[in-house]
Amino acid sequence: MDLFEYQGKQYFARYGIPVSAGGVADTVDEAVAQAEAAGYPVVVKAQVQVGGRGKAGGIKLAANADEVREHAGNILGMDIKGHVVHRLWVEHASDIAKEYYASFTLDRAAKKYLAMVSAKGGVEIEAVAEEDPDAIARMHIDPSVGFTAADAARLVEEAGLDAEAHDGAVDILQKLYTCYVEGDADLVEINPLILTPEGQVHALDAKVTLEDNAAFRHPEWDDFRDIDEFDERERLARSKGLQYVGLDGFVGIIANGAGLAMSTCDVVNQVGGKPANFLDIGGGANAEVMANALEVINSDANVRAIFINIFGGITRGEEVANGIKSALGRVEIKAPMVIRLDGTNAEEGREILKTVESDKVISSPTMLDAARKAVELAGGAA
Ligand code: GDP
Ligand code: MN
C-alpha cells in the first residue's frame, strides 16, 4: 500500500523523524484554518500519489490567508498526471539551505536492503542516477546484521553531505531504518531531506510503501485505508476479505486461484469480451465466500454477465456446486451467469447445478465455451 505524503509524514513522526508542523485540508476554509494553526509562511501541497507535484504546480508557498485561499482553490480539483487532487497538506514553510535525498528499499536480486543517500536531492532520483550516478552513495544492508550509526555516518560522508548536516542526517537515517524495518515498509524515501540555514535537518517530503503482507501486525494501518483513492467495488471486496481488482469491462469474473482468475480474464478478452474485474475466491468456494463474491459483482453497474470459473482441487465439485446453489438462494443476481465447473468430482457438481439452471443460469463444461456464452449473454463483443 502506498501512502500519501501526509500519511507518510505521520508514519515518520511515529519513529521520531522530524517533519514540519501541519495538517490536512479538503476545502479552502480548512486549508486556511490549518495555515493559521501551522503559522505563516506555509506550503500548500497537493496530496496525490505521484512525484513531481512541485513542477506541476501542486505545491505553493503562501504568506497569508489570502494566498492560502488562492492556492488551495487552484490546487483542489487540479489534475496532476491523471490524479485529481481531493486533499491538501498545509505545513509551516521551511527555509532551505540544501536539499538532499535518503531512502531505504529492498534489493530483491541482492536479497538485501539498499540504502541510498545523495547530496543532490529535490530532483527526481532517477534523473540523478542517470546523469550523475556517482552522486548517489549506496549501501547494502544484511537484515540479520542491521544498520549501525557507523554505517549511517559512512553513507553520509560518502554522499558528501555538508558538515553541518552530518549529525542530523546520521540520526535521521537510523530512525528511517527503524521505520523501514519495524514499520514493515518496502520503501521509505525522503526527497528532499533538507538542511535549514540554522543547521537543522528534516524531512520535507515522504514517500512510504507498506508491505501488505505485514498488515496483520498493524491494525493501525486501517486508518491509512480510509481514503478516497479506492474504487467503491474494491472497498466492498476488501471489507469482505476478497482478492479483487476492479477493471473497466462488462463481464464479472469469479474464479478460484489467482492463476485461473488471470486465465479467465485472458479468455474473456480472447473471445471479444472485457473483464469487469479480477476476483480470486481462493480454495474455499463455500456458500459464504460465493455469496460475498456475487454481492461485490452485483455492486458493479457495468456488469452485463457473470462468469464463474471453478476448478475443483481439494475442494470437491459437489461442495462448490452446493456453495453456488446456496449463494444463489441468498443473493439475487442482476446479470445472467455462466458457470464452468471442472476438476475433482465435476460430474457430481454439475448434477447439482442442474437444479438451479435457467435461462439466466447456464452451465458449460469448458472454459472457452463458457467465456463465449458469457460474452453472448452480455450482448456481444466490446
Ligand atoms: P514533489 O515535487 O512531489 O516531490 O514534492 P516535494 O514535497 O518534494 O516538494 C517539491 C519542492 O518544493 C521541494 O524540492 C522544495 O524545493 C519545494 N518545497 C517544498 N516544501 C517547501 C518549504 O517548506 N519551503 C520551501 N522554500 N520550499 C519547499
Ligand atoms: Mn519530493
What CATH number corresponds to the domain at position 170?
3.30.470.20
* Domain co-membership, 37 together with 80: yes
CA of 354 from ligand 1 middle (Å) equals 64
Q: Does residue 122 have its Cβ closer than 6 Å to ligand 1? A: yes
* Domain co-membership, 251 together with 355: yes
Q: How far apart are CA 15 and CA 182, in angstroms?
A: 9
* Domain co-membership, 60 together with 41: yes
- Of 221, 246, 275, which residue constitutes the final position of a domain? 221
Query: Nearest ligand to the C-alpha of residue 56?
Result: 1
Does residue 69 register a pLDDT over 80?
yes
Q: How far apart are CA 138 and CA 7, in angstroms?
A: 26
**Domain contains 254:** yes
**Domain contains 199:** yes
Ligand 1 nearest atom to the CA of residue 93, by list position = 23
- Of 173, 193, 221, which residue constitutes the final position of a domain? 221
- Give the CATH number for residue 298: 3.40.50.261
The number of residues making up the chain comes to 382
**Domain contains 4:** no
Could you say which DSSP state residue 204 is in? S
Does residue 83 register a pLDDT over 70?
yes
CA of 156 from ligand 2 middle (Å) equals 19
- Of 197, 221, 245, which residue constitutes the final position of a domain? 221
Ligand 1 nearest atom to the CA of residue 45, by list position = 7
One-letter amino acid of 351: E
**Domain contains 14:** no
**Domain contains 217:** yes
pLDDT of residue 319: 87
- Helix H or strand E segment including 98: strand 98-107
Lowest-confidence pick of 201-205, 230-234, 334-338? 230-234
- Give the CATH number for residue 34: 3.30.1490.20
What is the DSSP code string of 223-257?
HHH-STTS-HHHHHHHHTT-EEEE-SSSEEEEESS
Ligand 1 nearest atom to the CA of residue 20, by list position = 23
SS3 365: coil
Cell of 297: 459483482
* Domain co-membership, 54 together with 125: no
pLDDT band at 230 (very low <50, low <70, confident <90, very high): low
Number of domains the chain is built from: 3
Residue nearest to atom 6 of ligand 1 (CA): 205
Question: What is the domain extent for residue 85?
Answer: 21-92
Cell of 361: 443460469
Does residue 225 register a pLDDT over 90?
no
Q: Does residue 121 have its Cβ closer than 6 Å to ligand 1? A: no
Q: Does residue 53 have its Cβ closer than 6 Å to ligand 1? A: yes
- What is the tens place of the pLDDT at every residue in 127-147? 999 999 999 999 999 999 999
Query: Nearest ligand to the C-alpha of residue 52?
Result: 1
* Domain co-membership, 200 together with 258: no
Give mean pLDDT, residues 158-175.
98
- Of 5, 91, 99, 189, the active-site residue reads 189
* Domain co-membership, 330 together with 246: yes
Torsion angle (degrees, nearest 10) of CA 253, 286, 312, 265: 10
Does residue 285 register a pLDDT over 80?
no
**Torsion sign (Cα): 43, 49, 55, 57:** negative
Could you say which DSSP state residue 2 is in? B
Q: Does residue 204 have its Cβ closer than 6 Å to ligand 1? A: yes
Angle at CA of residue 183, ends 182 and 186, nearest 5°: 110
* Domain co-membership, 185 together with 74: no
Q: How far apart are CA 204 and CA 193, in angstroms?
A: 6
Selection from 45, 55, 40, 59 nearest residue 87 by Cα: 45
CA of 196 from ligand 1 middle (Å) equals 13
pLDDT of residue 249: 96
**Domain contains 164:** yes
177 Cβ contact list (under 8 Å, min separation 6) = 104, 115, 141, 146, 147, 152
* Domain co-membership, 75 together with 118: no
Strands 136-141 and 185-195: unpaired
Does residue 228 register a pLDDT over 60?
no
**Domain contains 2:** no
Lowest-confidence pick of 154-158, 191-195, 283-287? 283-287
pLDDT of residue 234: 86
Look up 11 and say whether it is catalytic: no
**Domain contains 215:** yes
Q: What is the pTM of this model?
A: 0.72
Look up 232 and say whether it is catalytic: no
Residue 248 dihedral angles phi and psi, to the nearest 5°: -105, 20
Percent of the chain at pLDDT exceeding 90: 82
Ligand 1 nearest atom to the CA of residue 205, by list position = 7
* Domain co-membership, 74 together with 114: no
Q: Is the peptide bond before 143 cis (omega within 30 degrees of 0)?
A: no
* Domain co-membership, 280 together with 334: yes
pLDDT band at 226 (very low <50, low <70, confident <90, very high): low
SS3 193: strand
Q: Does residue 258 have its Cβ closer than 6 Å to ligand 1? A: no
Q: Does residue 59 have its Cβ closer than 6 Å to ligand 1? A: yes
Q: Does residue 51 have its Cβ closer than 6 Å to ligand 1? A: yes
* Domain co-membership, 32 together with 139: no
Ligand 1 nearest atom to the CA of residue 121, by list position = 14
Is the Cβ–Cβ distance between 249 and 382 less than 8 Å? yes
Looking up cell 541482492 gives: 110
CA distances from 297 to 233, 330, 363, 382 (A): 8, 14, 18, 19
CA of 79 from ligand 1 middle (Å) equals 18
Q: Among 96, 103, 123, which is best to mutate for testing ligand 1, by the most ligand atoms less than 8 A from CB?
A: 96
* Domain co-membership, 345 together with 281: yes
pLDDT of residue 222: 86
Helix axes 149-159, 166-182, angle to 10 degrees: 120
Query: Nearest ligand to the C-alpha of residue 6?
Result: 1
